[in-house]
Amino acid sequence: MAAPSKFHFPRVGILQNVPRPYHSRSSVVTCGLRGGPRKPLWRKSVLSSEAIQAIHSLKLARSSAPRLQEVFNGRLSRLLKADLLDTLAELQRQNQLDLALQVFQFVRKEEWYEPDLLIYCDMILLLGKNKLIEMAEELISELKKEGLQPITRAFAEMIGAYMQVGMIEKAMETYESMKALGCAPDRLTFMILIRNLEKAGKEELTAMVKKECAEYVDSPEKFLGEVEQKYRKRQLLNPV
């Protein structure tokens, strides 16, 4: 299996080219995303020794571009498909942003790679958690270039990314876009919207989203009660 000689992500860049996180001038709204990335379908409960060694080697070499190149051309190029995808998922779980970005584009250049929406969704989630909004937006453009169309989860992660930095208008635009494209909002989408809109004091928008929730979610009253209960519990654990 041939390893790519260079790792170039069009316009986005990695490591020294990673832009600084976006910071809104308004108060930052806490995102309603999950505590950690959703486990991809390929994710095993236990990493193989090869995947563990690959992650360890990447971390040791991260400060040296030549050494990092050697790891990619050597250890990573010898990984089986499942182990390489597990390596990417574990780096995402550990919030190893720079390494995850490089492994992500390495995966995309493998001969067996086929465009995968779940891989993109996990990367959008990671970028959103790190407030790298422009990069997350670019991933949406990239997946379209690969012939994919955003699914509900991709929209939800993008909404969460916007809410992470207080970009409520962009979050609502994305919500309207997903509905217009025929992607039905799910429980995760509504949870992200309701929690953050309530915290931002957007009463009218909150009421509108709650009303629309009944069109897409089974047992909406029960669901809204659960959202409210979790929101109050979070407030108690993390008082302003």
Quickly tell me which residue has 């959202």 as its tokens: 227
Q: What is the pLDDT of residues 21-65, one digit of tens each?
A: 444 433 333 333 444 444 444 455 689 999 999 999 999 999 999
Entry pTM: 0.78
Confidence band of 16 (pLDDT split at 50, 70, 90)? very low
C-alpha 75/C-alpha 59 separation (Å) is 13
**pLDDT at res. 237:** 59
Distances from the Cα of 153 to the Cαs of 43, 122, 183, in angstroms? 18, 9, 9
Average pLDDT, the chain: 83
